[in-house]
Structure 1
């Protein structure tokens, strides 16, 4: 058989062959669609850092205009960059949960009252007398506009945080994030991912069975429909659990490599000391007296914890199939979110009145210009990352 033609002219041409021999084609040097898509994939950790940074920024303000900007920025990035995966619909679910949290916060303000004084009384509910040991708590009474506005600001902050977490799930599901975890956290990550994916699979089973019952003309609502759907759902969950356990055992889940005792002790010391340093540094940043030692202690704790996790990864016997690269796009995505969190934290320290509008007296909130411009940095991934960077995941 003649050797394949390696010249440039015959790169994509059939190789001459003798009569009766099979035909061989020179493999093309052009990257396939899967490889091209993989090279444009943004690391899932970058998306999670971006989303959690936006959530951190949301905790630094109660200004509804800034919170609305954060929600709009996350919604635009999710709309343009989420893939066709089961986890991509998490944003809608988290948005509904955020709306429910906001309504519950308003309901509590109406039913249980608010410590915020107000003069604009909207309605007066019958007040239930409580014993003396329940002082500070009331049921019913006057509902003021100031109390409702304060509750709306507070509930909107928590709702924005939930929406940012939903954006992280929609852009990079927990399954993609699992294979990027350090080896020392692999087993913990598997347990967390299994726990997080149990509820979506359960909801999907319920919807599938209810649709099947409707097609057969059988009732799918009420107590009778619930009882007839519950058994197949539990049976499917049990079968999925058995299949998952068999797959994990076949892949060698839980096996560990032998490492020297000195390495194990060093790993434990670095990890424990690093976590203690992170806790002490965070406490220092949150208190006025610990501002001098908070940042150095936090950085030292993070470095020690990362070193401990890297050493602990030697015990994990696993490989990664086509790992997601951490490239310039990942740095840009994570950096844009970190910039938003840092700038809003700085703004909350320098101009707290603009980021926390008062409700007594009741005035309309104003939009601070440079904090609003800082929030717009969250849109950087929408223009710097191609939409194809959200690959399809197995369900």
Structure 2
């Protein structure tokens, strides 16, 4: 027993000597200097997922904003349909099995509801668009003298319905583009990428954007559970019995989120000099006013000369204000998302679509905004349609891996 004890003590001393002397033992027979060497990848074997760079979430939002900007420049249903198809195809190729990725279907349903409501309003309340093709006539309700210009019922023309459908389809396309960005970009990663000055605002926006996906996931989970138990999950009764558990889960999630934010020091700011605070406020406010004035100048014919310089000066001032405002946020980023070539490609495709359709709306407005009086079938302009197809470039970008 004494020999065994003495041997264990000697062995322990021998193991402790290299540590005290600063010598590191190899942890693997094939390792050198105490560091494990990675095995080289075989031919045809994919690289480890952790070595692949992930796509910056801001690139998806900039791509979607570019598509939404392009949608505001046209009412041609063929071009709007191409924008919807392009965004849907990119979502289908890059959507991940996450709760926020399921919200795309909800945004599509919301877009269809907006389109239907816009047409119903034109039918019920009338439209200022004159027309000669009468579809049907509704009973008209007389209104008082002070409500002139508004009517309830009356003659419904094909021109008014088509004009309302074009207008509603443009708004529906905007909603679908926002849904595509919400389905592709991770809200938590997007929050990490925001500047320090916008961190608190970004938290509020991200929480608001993630509310709908989690709510949809809770409803789907509860409906599946009720179907397995043989209980109704549709109709007013099913909705009432599902609504209470969904509300309870939302409240529990809110309490957990508040506790997590409190434990991570949310809302704490660093002390900065008063001079820096005043300079930050002046630059940010002046920059935002410059952006508004420059945008207004670009949208009007009289401000075409000063619009672009004022816009650029406002952007520079706002960015400088955000840079200075970031000093109040004493936080660091753990493994920040890199902005690589793939992010530039995704962002550039959306910006190219927006720029080309904006140019086309100035060069050939009749093709991008087809008239309804007289009522004619919309034509597909070739080069604006080819410009919309640039939105499909992100579909050919390799899918990211976590």
Using the TM superposition, give the Cα deviation of residue 79 of structure 1 relative to its aligned residue in structure 2, in angstroms: 1.1
Alpha-carbon contact 1:127-1:138 (below 8 Å) kept: yes
Which protein shows a greater Rg? 2
The answer to whether the aligner puts 1:366 opposite 2:379 as a matched pair is yes
Which residue in the other structure is 1:82 paired with?
95
Using the TM superposition, give the Cα deviation of residue 312 of structure 1 relative to its aligned residue in structure 2, in angstroms: 0.7
The answer to whether the aligner puts 1:104 opposite 2:117 as a matched pair is yes
Alpha-carbon contact 2:26-2:35 (below 8 Å) kept: no
Alpha-carbon contact 1:102-1:155 (below 8 Å) kept: yes
Which residue in the other structure is 1:36 paired with?
51
Partner of 1:291, secondary structure, is coil
Q: 1:297 to 1:198 in 2, by over 3 A?
A: same
Q: What's the CA shift string for 1:287-329, capped at 9, x where partnerless? A: 2211111111111101110111111111112121211111222
Q: 1:5 to 1:221 in 2, by over 3 A?
A: closer
- Say which of 104, 112, 115 aligns to 2:128: 115
Using the TM superposition, give the Cα deviation of residue 205 of structure 1 relative to its aligned residue in structure 2, in angstroms: 2.9
Which residue in the other structure is 2:63 paired with?
50
Is the deviation greater in 222-231 or in 247-256?
222-231
Q: 1:155 to 1:230 in 2, by over 3 A?
A: closer
Q: How many Å separate the matches in 2 of 1:15 and 1:343?
A: 56
Partner of 1:325, secondary structure, is coil
Q: How many Å separate the matches in 2 of 1:340 and 1:106?
A: 28
Which residue in the other structure is 1:354 paired with?
367
Partner of 2:262, secondary structure, is helix
Q: How many Å separate the matches in 2 of 1:224 and 1:68?
A: 37
Q: TM-score, normalised by structure 1?
A: 0.88
The answer to whether the aligner puts 1:280 opposite 2:293 as a matched pair is yes
Alpha-carbon contact 1:4-1:26 (below 8 Å) kept: no
Which residue in the other structure is 1:26 paired with?
36
Q: TM-score, normalised by structure 2?
A: 0.87
Where do 5+ consecutive residues of structure 2 fail to align?
1-14, 16-22, 42-46
Q: How many Å separate the matches in 2 of 1:247 and 1:142?
A: 58
Which residue in the other structure is 1:196 paired with?
209
Q: How many Å separate the matches in 2 of 1:357 and 1:228?
A: 48
Where do 5+ consecutive residues of structure 1 fail to align?
7-11, 17-23
Q: How many Å separate the matches in 2 of 1:221 and 1:371?
A: 44
The answer to whether the aligner puts 1:320 opposite 2:333 as a matched pair is yes
Q: How many Å separate the matches in 2 of 1:70 and 1:178?
A: 27
Count of residues in Structure 1 that have an aligned counterpart in Structure 2:
375
Which residue in the other structure is 2:398 paired with?
386
